[in-house]
Amino acid sequence: MTEILNFKDVELYYDHVYALKGVSLTVTEGETVALIGANGAGKSSILRAITGLAKIKAGSIHYRGERLDGTRAADIVRKGIAMVPEGLRVFPFMSVRDNLMMGAFTRTDKAGIAQSLDSVLTRFPRLKERFGQQASTLSGGEQQMMVIGRALMARPKLLLLDEPSLGIAPKLVQDIARAIVAISRDEKVSVLLVEQNSRMALSISSRAYAMSTGSVVLSGVSKELMSDDRIKAAYLGGEL
């Protein structure tokens, strides 16, 4: 498999406090990779470094063989990286349609944008039903579908998801998990998934990295990590 992301020996800190301590990870084309760990482990800092929202102090980030760190955030989106941030970041007084269209702000291909919009609405039929509604009237799960759809409107090659299950009803968490699997499979999008819901993250990813206090402490094939006693004890609440 061709490597799409190489995050190597990266160090990052905020106000002299380390957030990442020599972290390395890779993502290959079409692969879903999970980052699991508690709050403050450094998972979201990895996404911030990839998207240019945080400047790294050491190490390197390569995307499709090209050095990425030091690139402006807007240019990173144009290169094919889209992020779904934590916390349902919607434009509350705009319609579902306009929220989705904000994801295509870097594109000029009208026919392609229309096709992407149709694809998003087919994937998330609830959004089609609520197309003209204000985003603030949607449920939490529906808003999460919308922000994922908005990211897909950028037509990314690498999709970064930051805690997509946070604050979402269990039934809709299952729907979102299935959507992530389908997006990667059908659209050949690589996914880097940050999740505190380790059980869900491991069940839909091919590989995973477990983090603690800014470092990777375990990594491997997700199915194998599910049965690892250290992962069970630290991240899965005991036996499955």
CB contact at 8 A, 190 and 209: no
Give me the domain span that covers residue 182. 3-235
Segment 149-159, tens digit of pLDDT:
999 999 999 99
pLDDT band, residue 236 (cuts 50/70/90)? low
**Rounded to an integer, what distance in angstroms lies between the CA atom of residue 34 and that of residue 43?**
10
In a domain, 23, yes or no: yes
**Predicted pLDDT at 173:** 86
Residue 30 half-sphere exposure toward CB, CA atoms < 13 A:
6
User: Which contacts (CB < 8 Å, 24+ apart) does range 198-202 have?
Assistant: 198/34, 198/36, 198/231, 198/235, 198/236, 199/236, 199/240, 200/165, 200/173, 201/34, 201/35, 201/36, 202/34, 202/36, 202/226, 202/231
In a domain, 240, yes or no: no
In a domain, 57, yes or no: yes
In a domain, 67, yes or no: yes
How many domains is the chain partitioned into structurally? 1
Segment 134-173, tens digit of pLDDT:
999 998 889 999 999 999 999 999 999 999 988 888 888 8
| Whole-prediction pTM | 0.92
CATH number, domain containing residue 167 = 3.40.50.300
In a domain, 138, yes or no: yes
Q: Is the pLDDT of residue 43 over 80?
A: yes
Please report, as a single letter, which amino acid is at residue 210.
Answer: A
Of 84-88, 144-148, 176-180, minimum mean pLDDT range: 84-88
